[in-house]
Structure 1
Amino acid sequence: MLDQTLTTNKINDIRNYLDELLPLLKKESREIIDESLVLHTVERLFQLIVDSAIDLNTHIISQSHLAVPADYQSTFIVLGENKILPMEFALEIAPSVGLRNLIVHKYGNVDMKRMDYLQYLKLVSATVINID
């Protein structure tokens, strides 16, 4: 059985982080890159969004007794395989974990357009209510 407090808190966390992030993403890419405070804020908010989604995915997977994913990226795929997320969407958003790793470990440049966590929120919120 899902912990409704945990799931609600994670969904609200993602929503709040997105509320902070989206206005920053309206800036031109060059403007974000040139303003280190804005860049670091964008990076950190993105990391928090992905980490919260992974936490939520992991909770859903463990409490629903689904297959144990091989890695964090696979948590989205497991949710897709079990129709908690549409599979096409799961395949699209799963690589955002790799983008998160690029940011955290400074492996390279990140294309912030590869995430669609607004859609993730809509899909997970609608589905989580029906899991129990």
Structure 2
Amino acid sequence: MSTIDRELLAERAAAVVRHLDRVAEHLPGDPADLRPLTSATDTVVLHLWQAVQVVIDLAVSTCVRLGLGSPPTYADAFRQLADAGVIADELAQRLARAAGFRNLVVHGYGQLDLRRVHAIAVAGPADLRTFLAALRDHEG
């Protein structure tokens, strides 16, 4: 069983922060202003997806490094980390939903509910940052 690679974590955390900063820069205050086929919407969706993807990649690699096995799904990676005490159960549930958002973006961009995307872009970054902090603070 190996520990979390601190250098890799710091590098990937910085990437997540850069993506979340781009989301914040382009996210309109009013959900109705997030409209299809606009640069702001494309930027928000792209950078939110990228931030979530980096967190997913970290979750999967952390499961493997900690000897928890290779999770069958992205959502399972967060559940395994919760079961191992690395992150809280409630956070794992929310991040499992973030993995679902990632899948929706990758496999069906045209079907996105932009009001929901706006809500995710407002609330989701805190969960991504909490996840990164939990990995940083984990001793295992």
Deviates more, 1:20-29 or 1:82-91: 20-29
Structure 2: runs of 5 or more not aligned: none
Q: Could you list the runs of 4 or more consecutive aligned residues of structure 1 that deviate by over 6 angstroms after TM superposition?
A: none
Q: Distance in 2 between matches of 1:31 and 1:78?
A: 38
TM-score by length of 1: 0.85
What residue number does 2:126 align with? 118
- Whether 1:109 aligns to 2:112 is yes
Separation in structure 2 between the aligned mates of residue 68 and residue 35 of structure 1, nearest angstrom: 37
Q: Whole-Å Cα distance in 2 between the matches of residues 96 and 61 of structure 1? A: 18
Q: Deviations over 1:28-71 (max 9, x none)?
A: 22222156111111111011011100111112111111143111
Q: Structure 1's 24 and 128: CA in aligned 2 closer, same or farther, altered over 3 A?
A: same
Aligned residues: 132
TM-score by length of 2: 0.81
Kindly, what percent of the aligned residue pairs are identical?
20
User: Which residue of the partner structure matches residue 129 of structure 1?
Assistant: 137
Structure 1 alignment gaps of length 5 or more: none
Which residue does 2:53 correspond to in 1? 51
Per the alignment, do residues 123 and 52 of structure 1 end up closer, same or farther by CA in structure 2, a change over 3 Å counting?
closer
